[in-house]
Amino acid sequence: MYLIDGIDKTVQEELQNLYQLQEIDRKVYNLTKQRADIPNQLNKMQEALQELRGRVGLVEDQVAGANQEAKGIEGVLDAERHKVRKWEQRLNEIRNQREYLALSREIESLKRANTDSEEKILELMKSAEEFTVQAETLKEELTTHTVELEEEQVRVEGALKETDSTIESESARRDDILPKISKPLLKKYDFIRSRRMGVGLALVKEGQCTACNMRLPPQLYNILQSGSRIDQCPSCQRIMLWEKFLEQSEEIAPVSGVSTESDGNPETEASV
């Protein structure tokens, strides 16, 4: 369709092959980047779960603390109640009025202190109960989160496996294309893509590099259209392929099994 005099077939074939390689490399590059993000959600969930475990621990400590404090007061209270009983017995034996009154007052004050202690124990028991309820709620949350985390773990494992298997099959396709490209061109391509976000070859559309959007000098564009040699973009240094040559090669020689469209677009099945 777009036959132009002076096209170097070998140059163009090599560029087509390099383009196929580029498509695979682009896909693998993106997949590798996406792969790194797959466990992000899982990592967040693990952090949240860890934090929740910490909160459960704190609340349980508060339950234990309140119970222990209540137990301590209980111990003292037992001794104080015993004292009250002893003093009341002694009161019966006192005949002296002044001594009697003094001891009575002591007993009353001791009883009041004991009542305070009883109230304090009730308060502590109440807060222990409240903390227990809180701990139970948090533990329920913990269970839910643990289940969600396990589900996410399964999802992540599946997604990683799927990505790895796609990368693997793309790498196998890459290995098939490699022998079709000359070593110096491949070396140059690898060098460029290692420095240019994984893209070593750029299509040129309407006089413009599609990778960096630079408009080519008319003379260089003419040379590119002549198809006689391999050139690099003056701005981004990527190896250039004029889009018309790509369309041409797809129309003339659809490569079976190695579609440039990885999603199997039926439109690429052009007839000769």
Residue ranges that bind Zn ion, judged by CB under 5 A? 209, 211-212, 214, 233, 235-236
**By C-beta, is 15 or 236 nearer to Zn ion?**
236
- Whole-number Å distance between alpha carbons of 162 and 157: 9
| β-strand partners of 241 | 203
Closer by beta carbon to Zn ion, 19 or else 131 = 19
d(CA 129, CA 229): 84
45-62 in b/e burial notation, b at 16+ Cβ within 10 A? beeebeebeeebeebbeb
Shortest CB 235 distance to Zn ion, Å: 5
Q: How far is the CB of 243 from Zn ion (least distance, A)?
A: 14
Least Å distance between CB 248 and Zn ion? 22
Smallest gap from Cβ 174 to Zn ion, in A, equals 23
Residue closer to Zn ion (CB basis): 165 or 213: 213
Q: How far is the CB of 197 from Zn ion (least distance, A)?
A: 12
Q: Assess contact for 241 and 201: CB atoms under 8 A.
A: yes
Q: Looking at beta carbons only, is 131 or 221 nearer to Zn ion?
A: 221
Q: Where are the beta strands (DSSP E) in the chain?
A: 201-205, 208-209, 239-242
Which residue, 83, 108, 103, is CA-closest to 93?
Answer: 103
Q: Which is nearer to Zn ion, 124 or 211 (CB)?
A: 211
